[in-house]
């Protein structure tokens, strides 16, 4: 009984944290700008998730190079955490997670891909919207409600970046994020 109560409280805590992250990202302005290394965020997140990765017998394929941006370290850490959590959660046992960071001089790039079931490309595009899921059966299994990628989309938008969600032909998902080094000036409340 105590275990179920603890699990319920943890789920409620994650839900509140998700709503707060989404609200901060949708606010449209960043007040905690700093130099952020995507390589460091990815490395730290993979290390923190090592037990979950091992528990699903997943292989991690990393191609990590220095890729830095000026942004909110808190929000960008949440972005990386959500992507890697999704790659673990919706993967097939014994599958893989691929993570790439790169910098082309004008922008930093982050690509996260994973194994999983075959996905409908049209439905994958909806995953960046709040509460969008690819199947009700997945909610019952993992307890999530469909905020992870909508939080990612909001964080990418507030950093003037681009987000691509793609069904992999072999099954699973490929997420491509580009975050420019130069950011346009935003006024409070500006969401464009």
Percent of the chain surpassing pLDDT 90: 55
Residue keyed to tokens 């995953």: 127
A 10 A CB-CB count for 136 gives 7
- One-letter-per-residue 3-state SS of 25-79: HHCCCCCCEEEEEHHHHHHHHHHHCHHHHHHCCCEEEEEECCCEEEEEHHHHHHH
DSSP symbol at 171: S
Percent of the chain surpassing pLDDT 70: 69
Q: What is the pLDDT of residues 27-58, one digit of tens each?
A: 767 777 899 999 999 999 999 999 999 999 99
Quote the tokens at residue 37.
Answer: 């290394």
Would you state the pLDDT for residue 130?
52
Q: Look at residues 110, 104, 65, 103 and name the one whose alpha carbon lies nearest to residue 87.
A: 110
- One-letter-per-residue 3-state SS of 102-146: EECCCEEEEEEEECCCCCCHHHHHHHHCCCCCCCHHHHHHHCCCC
Residue keyed to tokens 């319920």: 8
Architecture of 2-180 per CATH?
2-Layer Sandwich (3.30)
Whole-structure pTM value: 0.81
Chain mean pLDDT for the chain = 82
| Domain range annotation of the chain | 2-180
Better pLDDT: 152 or 12? 152
Query: How far is residue 80's CA from residue 137's CA, in Å, rounded to a whole number?
Result: 25
Sign of the Cα pseudo-torsion (135, 137, 140, 142, in order): negative
Query: How far is residue 102's CA from residue 98's CA, in Å, rounded to a whole number?
Result: 13
Residue keyed to tokens 């001089």: 105
């Amino acid at each position: 009984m105590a275990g179920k109560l603890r699990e319920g409280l943890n789920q409620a805590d994650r839900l509140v944290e998700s709503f707060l992250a989404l609200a901060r990202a949708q606010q449209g302005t960043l007040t905690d700008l700093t130099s952020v290394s995507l390589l460091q965020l990815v490395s730290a997140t993979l290390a923190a998730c090592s037990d979950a990765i091992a528990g699903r017998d997943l292989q991690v394929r990393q191609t990590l190079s220095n890729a830095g941006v000026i942004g909110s370290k808190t929000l960008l850490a949440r972005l990386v955490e959500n992507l890697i959590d999704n790659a673990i959660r919706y993967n097939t046992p014994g599958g893989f997670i691929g993570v790439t960071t790169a910098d082309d001089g004008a922008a930093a790039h982050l690509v996260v891909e994973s194994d999983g079931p075959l996905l409908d490309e049209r439905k994958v595009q909806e995953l960046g919207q709040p509460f969008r899921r690819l199947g009700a059966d997945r909610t019952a299994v993992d307890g999530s409600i469909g905020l992870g990628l909508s939080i990612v989309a909001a964080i990418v938008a507030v950093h003037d970046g681009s987000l691509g969600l793609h069904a992999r032909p072999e099954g699973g998902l490929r997420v491509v994020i580009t975050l420019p080094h130069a950011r346009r000036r935003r006024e409070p409340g500006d969401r464009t």
